[in-house]
Amino acid sequence: MEINKIGEVRSKYKEPVGPDEMRKSKSIIEVEAEYVDGLDQIENYEYLQILFYFHKSEGYDLIAKRRKGPERGLFTSRSPRRPTPIGITTVELLKREDNKLHVYGLDAVDGTPVLDIKPYASFMDHPTLSLEKKTPRYQINKLIKYQNLHDLLLKAGELHGHYCPFLALGVLAAADAMTRLDADNDGMEDLLAVVETNGCFSDGVQYTAGTTFGNNSLIYRDFGKTAVTFVKRGDSLETLRYYLKDSNFVEQKYPEAAKLFKKVIAERKGTKKEQEKMKELWQEIAFEIIEADIKEYFKIEENIEIELPDYAPIFEDQNCSKCGENLMASKAVQKVDEVLCRNCAESKYYQLDGSGIIEK
Ligand SMILES: [Zn+2]
Ligand SMILES: [Zn+2]
């Protein structure tokens, strides 16, 4: 067996300081001259996997203490103390300068020998892909099961576009409900969320519980309260309602953020810098809330009575006599000799927008 060193790490860290801390910094991988041609077109990859040698590590224990939690087997850990002390980390490639790769996220100290570089591709390196095709919520369910709310919030941000306190509260409530109701969701209306706000909170609920606008398992009650009732249909209905006890908590606990919110969002008067600062604070608060005890924020009621619609009916389609567009028959306006869509008939309709449900 022959293993070659193809380069070396340049980092501000001369000694290990813990992987989380190190992963937050940039470092450089200097590739040796004889291997530089192998970097051809590497710029096309956003992420790389770096294999490196833990040159400062000595010996190993097969059962080892972890930084958090009880002891367990070496091969269930990422400890550097191993029979073959090789590390592997996925990094973000920031830029390439000749033989230098500027990367973000490498947890290796200065002078670490690099053994290999490979492109990271989620479709190749993601071991659960076939499972996900069968159960699309595989990853989300796993995060809920292991109570990894931090990562759930991270993912919910993909749907919501930013991190904010109320998104975090939605994730917190929904993850708690999914656990207590022992619920999964295949988007077939067996699990419903009845939300009482059209604010950020509802996106945390939609992402985490999978009760969405499009799969008819999100029911919206135009009450303007930060509250949600989860309903699991079965032989009987199981319900859980979460109501935010104190909607002024941001003003009280985070006055700086509340002040900025007023200026930047409510009055739309913030400078670019203030907008950035607000986003930063909002994100910090969101990730703080997600670690909180749910009872600190919510009043939780079990088995409440709730009036529910039946499973969503499937209607036949019709075509508008005027514009020809296809529409649900139940939404058509029937005239004596024609069928019109609401737009062509210029009839009233309802719209859900930032103001709630309004009649137009
Ligand atoms: Zn938000
Ligand atoms: Zn029409």
Query: Average pLDDT, stretch 118-128?
Result: 73
Query: Average pLDDT, stretch 302-306?
Result: 93
- Which residues make beta-bridge pairs with 118? 49
224 pLDDT higher than 90:
yes
User: Which ligand ends up closest to the CA of 165?
Assistant: 1
Query: Average pLDDT, stretch 332-347?
Result: 92
Residue 172 CA to ligand 1 center (angstroms) comes to 14
70 pLDDT higher than 80:
no
pLDDT in tens, 165-213: 999 999 999 999 999 999 999 999 999 999 999 999 999 999 999 999 9
Residue 350 CA to ligand 2 center (angstroms) comes to 17
- Residue closest to 150 by CA, chosen among 244, 271, 24, 287: 287
Sequence-ordered alpha helix ranges (H) in the chain: 19-23, 122-125, 129-134, 138-145, 149-160, 165-180, 200-209, 249-253, 255-261, 272-289, 294-297, 342-345
CB atoms within 10 A of CB 111: 12
User: Which ligand ends up closest to the CA of 347?
Assistant: 2
- Residue closest to 218 by CA, chosen among 189, 244, 238, 246: 189
Q: Where are the beta strands (DSSP E) in the chain?
A: 7-10, 26-31, 47-53, 63-64, 72-73, 86-97, 100-104, 113-119, 191-195, 218-220, 227-232, 238-244, 298-302, 317-319, 326-328, 333-334, 339-340, 350-353, 356-359
User: Which ligand ends up closest to the CA of 283?
Assistant: 1
- Residue 133 confidence class, pLDDT cut points 50, 70, 90: confident
Burial class from Cβ neighbours inside 10 Å (0-12, 13-18, 19+) for residue 75 reads: exposed
- Residue closest to 192 by CA, chosen among 201, 200, 183, 204: 183
125 pLDDT higher than 90:
no
User: Which ligand ends up closest to the CA of 340?
Assistant: 2
Q: Quick one: pLDDT at residue 111? A: 96
Q: Domains in the chain, start-ordered, CATH in brackets?
A: 7-125 (2.40.30.70), 131-302 (3.30.1330.130), 317-353 (no CATH)
20 pLDDT higher than 80:
no
Query: Average pLDDT, stretch 321-330?
Result: 94
- Residue 254 confidence class, pLDDT cut points 50, 70, 90: very high
262 pLDDT higher than 80:
yes
- Residue 117 confidence class, pLDDT cut points 50, 70, 90: very high
Residue 322 CA to ligand 2 center (angstroms) comes to 5
Residue 340 CA to ligand 2 center (angstroms) comes to 5
144 pLDDT higher than 90:
yes
Query: Average pLDDT, stretch 95-114?
Result: 95
- Residue closest to 187 by CA, chosen among 218, 154, 152: 218
Q: Name residue, tokens 């514009």.
A: 323
Proportion of the chain above pLDDT 70, given as a percent: 97
Residue 22 CA to ligand 1 center (angstroms) comes to 30
Residue 21 CA to ligand 1 center (angstroms) comes to 28
- Residue closest to 303 by CA, chosen among 181, 219, 218: 181
User: Which ligand ends up closest to the CA of 163?
Assistant: 1
- Residue closest to 62 by CA, chosen among 49, 51, 73: 73
DSSP 223: -
Residue 283 CA to ligand 1 center (angstroms) comes to 10
User: Which ligand ends up closest to the CA of 344?
Assistant: 2
3 pLDDT higher than 90:
yes
- CA distance readout (Å), 31 to 8, 127, 258, 278: 7, 29, 49, 41
Q: Quick one: pLDDT at residue 310? A: 87
- Residue 25 confidence class, pLDDT cut points 50, 70, 90: confident
User: Which ligand ends up closest to the CA of 324?
Assistant: 2
Proportion of the chain above pLDDT 90, given as a percent: 73
Burial class from Cβ neighbours inside 10 Å (0-12, 13-18, 19+) for residue 152 reads: buried
Residue 202 CA to ligand 1 center (angstroms) comes to 9
More confident residue, 193 or 133: 193
Whether residue 192 contacts residue 219, with contact meaning beta carbons closer than 8 Å, is answered with: yes
Residue 321 CA to ligand 2 center (angstroms) comes to 7
Q: Quick one: pLDDT at residue 219? A: 96
**250: Cα separation from own chain's centroid:** 22
Query: Average pLDDT, stretch 326-334?
Result: 92
Residue 345 CA to ligand 1 center (angstroms) comes to 36
Residue 330 CA to ligand 2 center (angstroms) comes to 14
Q: Quick one: pLDDT at residue 128? A: 64
Residue 352 CA to ligand 2 center (angstroms) comes to 21
- Residue 22 confidence class, pLDDT cut points 50, 70, 90: confident
Residue 342 CA to ligand 2 center (angstroms) comes to 7
Whether residue 357 contacts residue 222, with contact meaning beta carbons closer than 8 Å, is answered with: yes
Residue 293 CA to ligand 1 center (angstroms) comes to 21
- Residue 336 confidence class, pLDDT cut points 50, 70, 90: confident
Query: Average pLDDT, stretch 233-245?
Result: 93
d(CA 217, CA 189): 5
147 pLDDT higher than 70:
yes
d(CA 359, CA 7): 66
DSSP 314: P
d(CA 115, CA 345): 70
More confident residue, 268 or 130: 268
Whether residue 124 contacts residue 154, with contact meaning beta carbons closer than 8 Å, is answered with: no
Query: Average pLDDT, stretch 261-280?
Result: 91
Mean per-residue pLDDT of the chain: 92
CB atoms within 10 A of CB 315: 12
